[in-house]
Amino acid sequence: MRGLIELLSLISDGQYHSGESLGQHLNISRASIWKRIQVLQSMGFEIYSIRGKGYRLVDAIELLDKQKILSNIGSTETLASLEVLSEIDSTNAYMLSKAGQISTPAACLSESQTAGRGRRGKPWVSPFGSNIYLSLLWTAHGGLQSLDGLSLMIGVSIAKTLSGLECPDVQLKWPNDIYANKKKLGGVLVELTGNWMDQAHVVIGIGLNQRITQEQRQHIEQPIVDLAELGWSGSRNELAGKLINQLLLDLRAFEEKGFSMFQDDWNARNVYEGCSVEVLQPRSRLLGECQGVNERGELLLKTEQGILKVHSGELSLRPISREV
Ligand code: BTN
């Protein structure tokens, strides 16, 4: 519906705005404003409406702003391009479609995704205006092996960015989940295209929960946490910019030295360190004590047969002890 996002941005400050002034701004009638307010409410935005005062968004939101994001990318590593979209099926799918046609590294953020995708074919619930949906298109030289540990390194970059913005206690779950309070705060989905032996186009997709309503949580099949619950109420544009900045710096280091220089940082944030865990593979299940990761990003599992190294892929890890 035309003007929906403009309307949301006009009331995003959490103050009252009359139907008349909103109508004037958007050049539509008060009745049309009311219809759009109802659509926004059906999308999960809580909006008060008081006769004589107008409309107020209960929780003020900060819409993505390209200039503000760019001003937070102070990196010596340059970003070739940044796109900020209102809606897209999936930022990963979008960037994959651009691979080979645009200069890299290139980033894309969207306010919402209609077909956001997670690992193992799961959907990624992506409501409008309150979370981070970011994809970075990057070119990797040096074949598939040079990508060992990439998604773990991305987890470290995200955790470092959040710590730098004073969001405490972010942990990592092998291979690519971001955790806090023992619940999922975000995830990483790395997808590849191109000639893997020589030059691979890599799309690094990151989803981070900033604010997810109770209603939206019903569509997510695991316990999740958002930044608001963790007491973090910083700027989404600053978070997006600082995250891109950290990714650019860390990707450069990763390209030169591989995962080994991120190994200690990852292990220091391992949510299941020392816990009994099971690794679910497509046709089998491994049990053992989680002992972090090695310099290639493989999970080290202490079993009766000795230390097993588990390579990531379509695997998932979960604790056996209920305490973790
Ligand atoms: C996971 O399953 O934990 C990975 C989730 C990755 C979600 C992000 S949101 C931005 C990017 N676009 C997508 O469609 N998926 C990734």
Q: Using a 6 Å cutoff on CB, does residue 118 contact ligand 1?
A: yes
What is the pLDDT confidence band of residue 307, given thresholds at 50, 70 and 90?
A: very high
Q: Using a 6 Å cutoff on CB, does residue 242 contact ligand 1?
A: no
Residues 16, 57: contact at Cβ < 8 Å?
A: no
* 318 is known as an active-site residue: yes
Q: How many CB atoms lie within 10 A of CB 124?
A: 21
Mean pLDDT for 180-195 is 91
Q: Which residues pair with 186 in a beta bridge?
A: 178, 208
pTM of the model: 0.91
Q: Using a 6 Å cutoff on CB, does residue 205 contact ligand 1?
A: yes
Q: What is the mean pLDDT of the chain?
A: 91
Residues 73, 33: contact at Cβ < 8 Å?
A: no
* 119 is known as an active-site residue: yes
Chain segment 205-219, per-residue pLDDT in tens: 999 999 998 888 888
Chain segment 19-57, per-residue pLDDT in tens: 999 999 999 999 999 999 999 998 888 999 999 999 999
Q: Using a 6 Å cutoff on CB, does residue 92 contact ligand 1?
A: yes
Query: Pocket of ligand 1, candidates 91, 96, 189: which has the most ligand atoms within 8 Å of its Cβ, to mutate?
Result: 189
pLDDT > 50? residue 322: no
In angstroms, the CA 37 to CA 45 distance is 9
Distance of CA 187 from the midpoint of ligand 1 (Å): 6
Q: Using a 6 Å cutoff on CB, does residue 113 contact ligand 1?
A: yes
The residue from 2, 35, 309, 318 that is catalytic is 318
Residues 301, 289: contact at Cβ < 8 Å?
A: yes
Element (H, E) at 150: helix 150-164
Nearest to 184 by CA among 156, 136, 217: 217
Nearest CA to ligand 1 atom 10: 133
Q: Which atom of ligand 1 is nearest to the CA of 206?
A: 8
Chain segment 79-124, per-residue pLDDT in tens: 999 999 999 999 999 999 999 999 999 999 999 999 999 998 899 9
Q: Using a 6 Å cutoff on CB, does residue 209 contact ligand 1?
A: no
Q: Which residues neighbour 291 within 8 Å (Cβ) at sequence distance 6 or greater?
A: 273, 274, 300, 301, 302, 307
